[in-house]
Structure 1
Amino acid sequence: MTSRWYPDAYVFALGVVVLVAIAAMLHGASPLAVSIAFGNGFWSLAPFTLQMAYVAIGGFVVATSLPAAKLMRRVARQPSSGRSAIVWVGLISIGLSLVNWGLSLIFSGLLVRELARRSDIRLDYRAAGAAAYLGLGCGFTLGLSSSAAQLQANAASIPASLMSITGVIGFSQTIFTWQNGLTIAVVAAVSAAVCYLTAPCPGNLRTASDLGIDLSTIEPAIAKDRHPADRLADSPLLTLLVVALGAGWIVDRFASGNPIQHLSGLETYNFVFLLFGILLHWRPSNLAQAFAKAVPSVSGVLLQFPFYAGIAAILTVPRNAAGHTLSDSIASLFIGASSGPVSFSVVVGVYSAFLGLFIPSAGGKWIIEAPYVATAANALGAHLGWTVMIYNITETLPNFVNPFWMLPLLGILGLRAKDLVGYTAAQFVVHFPIALVLGAVLMTTFN
């Protein structure tokens, strides 16, 4: 049913463009002004789009390296039962997502396959696969690869129309607050409990073998007769020289100022991660192959982000000389539905989760929401940094029922979305009310 009637995320993006354009014109902006705003804003997120693509690629590259594979085998030996293995996968998925969501998705998927090869435990392959998706469902927006937090922390990434509303919001006001640390702990504990309680009993358990999944791995063959160019591609010499060159920049970067401030810069974050991936793959040929395999995972980001930027520009088109915009009108609705920062937190959480069902892109959707959400937050006296985090806490939960970001994981596991959604939907049902209450209660600690 879902596969037949649920449109592609790109179709939703186009639909939102049309709806927002019509709304702006009904609001009083001229069709020409709307068209000009869309065109002017279309490429305003180009640097940020490329940087977010590299977040995913860097995680994929690191996760598929040989050292990561060796670590994975050691990690896979730790659980003593199938049920504990499912919880183990879930916690690792969330932990890795705080560093990089691409790393979490790929490493956790491969970890499930490794655990499924063990003959001494019976692992429900579907429940373990759902646990591997926890990082994308409730983890990564609380960590370093949070696109909303990263965008707000980088002045160069913030569109001019948004900069005048929010200014720069550093990590010290978002992901590096004690409130977010507490949120991560609660999310991890709740996720682990749901994994444990929803793991099938022995009579309903389905292993990879039961599902007809082939877990064999085929190692790539290396030709014996190598040309000089091939030998150079298989030599670590160039890798070591490039890594040494980049290491000098990294040391100088972190030595000159606040390390947290530098870490909040996407250019530094991505450079460190990619350089680490280059080193882990050791040979240029290995890195090139991993990079090529990673690129398809970011096609949605590259295609859709420019349209989200165009939508944000349309939202801020003034309808008259007074400068009143569609974003201002939507902000007024948020203000009218809220009596203060606490109720505003609940409204933002519900709205962000609902919109997330249709636009499964944390960074792109924040560009759409930010102008009016931040305007309302300023008017109500709500903490802007925690408003970003309320968005982060609730926005990703619809990923549990919208399979868009599940596709790379499904490819690794050899499963279909319907095999996992039953388990992930349970996570959504439990997490959603907890997220709303947690966000609202913690908002009071900033007053």
Structure 2
Amino acid sequence: MIANFLSKIMQRYLPDSFLLAILLTVVIFLAGIIEAGHGPLEMAVFWGQGFSKLFTFGMQMVLVLLMGYVLALTPAVHGILDKLTNLAKTPRQALLLTATISFAACYLNWGFGLVVGAMVAKEMGRKVAGLHFPLVVAAAYSAELIRGPSSAIPLVVATPQHFLHEQIGLIPVSETLYSSWNLMLSAGVLVLLLLMYAFVSPPENPVSLSGSEAVEQNRPSETNHPATFSEKLEQHYLFNIVLAVLPVLYVGGHFADKGFNVNLNVVIMLFLAAALLLHRSPAAFIGATKTAITSTQGIIVQFPLYAGIAGMMTDSGLVNLTAEWFVSVSNTANFPAMTFLSAGLVNIFIPSGGGQWAIQGPVVIEAAKELGANLPQTIMAFAWGDAWTNQIQPFWALPLLGVAGLSARDIMGYCVMWLVLSGVWVIGVFTFLAM
């Protein structure tokens, strides 16, 4: 009932994610003038200087989504998803299975998880009668909260010569991601996620997945019988194998040299190799790419806008002002919780974990040392906070929404409820640990 009320509110009042990015730009522009004392021209310069800073990252995100989607359209992956989604016979089962699969995939890698979650949600929407499609998409996206092996911040502080090495040295992932308390926190997130979607009630008139195009996007691309010599070449699987050799060799050499070190470039290479090997021909691969490319439009258009916002936040000093205020009201007992909240707040304006850590990290670490707070717990509190407000920040929902064919307002009511429930759990755990 509460979730449906929030969903209706969001449907009525929440702007589209592109308009929200524009509104956030205006808010930060004015805040820089009023709170930080900069002139309009200075703020415009800060915005312009930041605008291009996510071009490389944005292209990486486009390729993560594109290759993940193309991989999801292969006959093999479609067959696996088809079998898994056949297990759900009722809307409730569909919600719980979607949340579980998305959680597992997001734990491995958030980019892969977002695509897999959206594809599972669409399969559920196609197969399960009476299922409220925005609700199952929300269940898939809610799983994005989990922090797993691809979580940037704990990986950064475990990397030799990271930018805070002189202040804190190396902190291995065994003390952060894979500590007993963080594994317990993660398990609790999964339990809470399943409980929420087990008991949330869909609206009286559920919205089903409609539109033949949306349904067809879930299915592997098919090619016509080749007629000409060039068409026969385009249908030959050998060319897929030839191209796939390069990313396979690159990733193999990377792992041999650096161990199991996963980054965005490695993920893209893995998805590319897998998609090439699992599609029947170059023509099938390109056909899947044509289907998948439309889902990347939100990233292409909006990443530069958020980079501009980040530029204004950083160069105007608004990030430091925000972080320092949180530090001023903290003590040893509540510092992890306050770190979580401050990271969540700033994440709304700078929705990039690594970039946010580069800006806020020095302030948070210095405060933790002054207060005598536990550093691994502080780092993970920051990482969880960075992920927490993704639930109400359409930035990271863009890949999933692009695949699902929905807007942010369609799922945000359920995400707000999940934001509250998960926030209470995470704050509770970190407060207990700090006692």
- TM-score, normalised via structure 1 length: 0.76
Q: Which whole-Å CA distance do the structure 1 matches of 2:328 and 2:186 have between them?
A: 31
For 1:250, the equivalent position in structure 2 comes to 251
Deviates more, 1:287-296 or 1:122-131: 287-296
Of the candidates 265, 269, 272, which is equivalent to residue 270 of structure 2? 272
Distance 1:327 1:109, change over 3 A: closer
For 1:146, the equivalent position in structure 2 comes to 151
For 1:92, the equivalent position in structure 2 comes to 101
Distance 1:248 1:407, change over 3 A: closer
CA shift for structure 1 position 164: 6.6
Q: Which whole-Å CA distance do the structure 1 matches of 2:123 and 2:46 have between them?
A: 50
Contact 2:158 2:170 in 1 (8 A): yes
Distance 1:240 1:145, change over 3 A: same
Q: Which whole-Å CA distance do the structure 1 matches of 2:319 and 2:130 have between them?
A: 53
CA shift for structure 1 position 20: 4.5
Contact 2:237 2:280 in 1 (8 A): yes
Q: Which whole-Å CA distance do the structure 1 matches of 2:405 and 2:69 have between them?
A: 18
Deviates more, 1:273-282 or 1:144-153: 144-153
CA shift for structure 1 position 288: 3.7
Distance 1:61 1:14, change over 3 A: farther
For 1:372, the equivalent position in structure 2 comes to 363
CA shift for structure 1 position 125: 3.0
Contact 1:330 1:372 in 2 (8 A): no
Contact 2:306 2:350 in 1 (8 A): no
Q: Which whole-Å CA distance do the structure 1 matches of 2:409 and 2:125 have between them?
A: 19
Deviations 1:240-259 (A, max 9, x none): 12333433343343334543
Gaps of at least 5 residues in structure 1 are 317-325
1:12-411 counterparts in 2 under 5 A?
A: 12-13=24-25, 15-16=27-28, 19-20=31-32, 48-118=57-127, 122-136=130-144, 138-139=145-146, 142-149=147-154, 171-200=173-202, 204=204, 206=206, 208=208, 216-217=215-216, 222-256=223-257, 258-259=259-260, 262-263=261-262, 265-291=263-289, 293-294=292-293, 295-299=296-300, 302-304=303-305, 306-307=307-308, 310-311=311-312, 314=315, 332-340=324-332, 342-411=333-402
Contact 1:38 1:313 in 2 (8 A): no
Deviations 1:134-171 (A, max 9, x none): 233x23xx023434445555679x7x6x7776676654
Of the candidates 423, 431, 435, which is equivalent to residue 440 of structure 1? 431
Match for 1:76: what amino acid?
T
SS in structure 1 opposite 2:149?
coil
CA shift for structure 1 position 401: 3.7
1:421 equivalent to 2:412? Answer yes
CA shift for structure 1 position 187: 0.6
Contact 1:56 1:101 in 2 (8 A): no
CA shift for structure 1 position 90: 0.9
Contact 1:112 1:128 in 2 (8 A): yes
Q: Among all aligned residue pairs of Structure 1 and Structure 2, give the percentage whose two residues are the same amino acid.
A: 24
Q: Which whole-Å CA distance do the structure 2 matches of 1:73 and 1:433 have between them?
A: 35
Contact 1:79 1:85 in 2 (8 A): yes
Q: Which whole-Å CA distance do the structure 2 matches of 1:57 and 1:149 have between them?
A: 26
Distance 1:88 1:343, change over 3 A: same
CA shift for structure 1 position 386: 3.3
Q: Which whole-Å CA distance do the structure 1 matches of 2:22 and 2:277 have between them?
A: 35
Deviations 1:337-380 (A, max 9, x none): 1111x411111222233344455444454444334333323333
**Aligned residues: CA RMSD:** 4.0
Contact 1:25 1:31 in 2 (8 A): no
Contact 1:52 1:147 in 2 (8 A): no
Match for 2:271: what amino acid?
F
Of the candidates 7, 16, 20, which is equivalent to residue 8 of structure 1? 20
Q: Which whole-Å CA distance do the structure 2 matches of 1:378 and 1:35 have between them?
A: 36
SS in structure 2 opposite 1:176?
coil
SS in structure 1 opposite 2:236?
coil
Distance 1:370 1:47, change over 3 A: farther
SS in structure 1 opposite 2:334?
helix
Distance 1:217 1:395, change over 3 A: same
CA shift for structure 1 position 193: 0.3
SS in structure 1 opposite 2:108?
coil
Distance 1:439 1:51, change over 3 A: farther
Match for 2:371: what amino acid?
L
**Corresponding pairs, count:** 417
Deviates more, 1:275-284 or 1:299-308: 299-308
